A and B are shown apart, each in its own frame.
Chain A
Amino acid sequence: MATLNILVGHAQGNVPVTVLRVEGDIDAATHKILQDKAAEVIDTGSTHILLDLGGVNYMGSAGFRAIHAISNMLHKDDTPGLLKSTHLKLLNPTDPVARVIKTLGFDVYLDIYQDRDTAVNSF
């Protein structure tokens, strides 16, 4: 059975930030684990999420479907047309994941940081 570990942390930027540290491969068998965990923290009040991808060596299109869904959950009240997310950002993607982020154009939608403190303080 495919597994994905997600550690939930909290940090304080200009607003409270929930940090989801993902460890494992995000594919069609595991992406729902990420999506469900994000839905859970959003349901309990999280409004700004930093997705730490430093422990993800593989992410296929299913992972991007999950990120897309998480972004939509966080921006459900926004007017259409907003391009860059102010509620969801990415931290420390590995090289293969960063390559797919760029190929799919997700770097247009999501800010990407290499340093956790800088990322948290950007919210």
Chain B
Amino acid sequence: MSEEQVFDLSVKASLDNLQQIRSYIDRAGERLGVNERTLGDLRLVVDEAVTNVVLYGYEGVDGTIELHMHADGDAVIIRIRDRARSFDPSQVSAPQLDTALKDRPFGGMGIYLIREMTDEAEFLPRPGGGNEIRLTKRGAIQSTRGQSQVPE
């Protein structure tokens, strides 16, 4: 039998809350036993996902973002939910990494980082409107601290 640790955060969709969200990832990740390098990746991908929700989902309209983080074996799963307009990441062009910077268009880096630094990144519509971004990072847990094992 194992007791699962789940960490939730609900915040106003605002760029001013990015620091608070990264701190939440740090605290939850530390409790789950996530190694430091992976924690850096999780901070980054969540920051990028939330930034996209604020800038391109809610577009300045008041809204809420809910975050949910838990461990599944050695993987960390993070869900980011909103009630913003639907978002199709396939419409975002990948950055042109082999093009001179002066000739390279802006944009596309956030989605690219999310895909590069997770094992799975799913962008799902929510019933009733909004989106859920489900991020999976495998091999993230370095010990059993994230799952309190009860001796038999």
Contact = CB atoms under 8 A, between A and B. Distances in A.
Contacts of A109: 100-101
B113 A58 contact: no
A61 B43 CA distance: 12
Contact of A60 (B37, B44, B103): B44
Interface in A91-117: 95-96, 99-100, 103-106, 108-109
A104 B109 contact: yes
Interface string B1-29: 00000000000000110110010000000
A69 B51 CA distance: 19
B104 interface: yes
Contacts of A104: 95, 97, 109, 112-113
A68 B101 contact: yes
Binding site secondary structure of chain B: helix
A61 B22 contact: no
B96 to A, nearest CB: 9
Contacts, number: 87
Contacts of A103: 113, 116-117
Interface string B89-121: 000000101101111101101101100110000
A82 B104 CA distance: 11
The main secondary structure of chain A at its interface with chain B is loop
B61 interface: no
B121 to A, nearest CB: 14
A99 B40 contact: yes
A64 interface: yes
A15 interface: no
A1 B101 contact: no
A18 interface: no
A65 interface: yes
A62 interface: yes
Interface of B: 15-16, 18-19, 22, 37, 40, 43-44, 47-48, 51, 54-55, 95, 97-98, 100-104, 106-107, 109-110, 112-113, 116-117
